[in-house]
Amino acid sequence: MPRTTEQYEELRNEKKQLIANIALKLFANQGYTKTSISAIAKEANISKGLMYNYFQSKKELLEYITNSLSNDYTQYIDPNKDGIITDEEALNYIDITFTMLKERREALKDYYQLAFQPEVMEIWNDPRLIHEDVMKQRDLFLNYWASKFPDTKPEIAKANIIAFIKGFVMLYVYMPEMYPDDFLDEYKTYLKQFITNQTN
């Protein structure tokens, strides 16, 4: 039976994600600049020519990796897409996010190794790189958490939240002996208690 358009699209998306996963590993370990499209194609077991059917350039592949990972972590922020984060949604989001952190510790390590490469930081300074939907969900998240600190200027509260989250995730990713999974569970409980206490 011939495949439907939807089936072809699903297979294409699966292949793109496979290529992106391989590219992330290579970018992290060999460097973004030093990793060629040919090397990625070889690891993905496809021809260089076929690679360009999925990604027209290495920069486009980097953009896909960035938005794919960002979307994975932001798509559950406002599940009903009404533009409002309730406390219940925030509690559910914490559960989902911490489960994903456990499952993707190694991928996040690769992501951070990529993120701090000077040439990648220069590319990421372009605000057009991040998809609009990802930015909207990110802003919703920051506004929600800033509202929990009404006595602090929103800009300062948001900056503190970003630094706090990134710092915690990096400690979890790079220091597993000090921050094992059971610590992550305890920290999740702490965050959920904070939301509950701020609501009461």
pLDDT tens by residue, 27-81: 999 999 999 999 999 999 999 999 999 999 999 999 999 888 888 889 999 999 9
Q: State how many domains the chain has.
A: 1
CB 173 within 8 A of CB 112: yes
Percent of the chain surpassing pLDDT 90: 48
Q: What's the pLDDT score for residue 199?
A: 67
Q: What's the pLDDT score for residue 181?
A: 85
CA distance 32 to 117: 8
Three-class secondary structure of residue 176 per DSSP: coil
Boundaries of domain holding 98: 5-199
- Mean pLDDT of all residues in 116-123: 90
DSSP one-letter code for 79:
T
Phi, psi of 119 (to 5 degrees): -65, -30
Mean pLDDT for the chain overall: 89
Count of all residues that appear for the chain in the document:
200
The answer, yes or no, to whether residue 166 has pLDDT greater than 90, is no
Least confident window among 8-17, 37-46, 127-136, 144-153: 127-136
CA distance 173 to 112: 9
Residue that has been written with the tokens 């960035």 in this structure: 66
Q: How confident is the model at residue 141 (pLDDT cuts 50, 70, 90)?
A: very high
CA distance 145 to 105: 24
DSSP one-letter code for 129:
G
Three-class secondary structure of residue 88 per DSSP: helix
Q: What's the pLDDT score for residue 1?
A: 58
Q: What's the pLDDT score for residue 200?
A: 61
CATH number at residue 112: 1.10.357.10
CA distance 3 to 182: 45
Q: What's the pLDDT score for residue 176?
A: 87
What angle (nearest 5°) sits at the alpha carbon of residue 14, between those of residues 11 and 30? 140
pTM over 0.75: yes
- Nearest residue to 16 via CA among 65, 57, 75: 65
The answer, yes or no, to whether residue 18 has pLDDT greater than 90, is yes
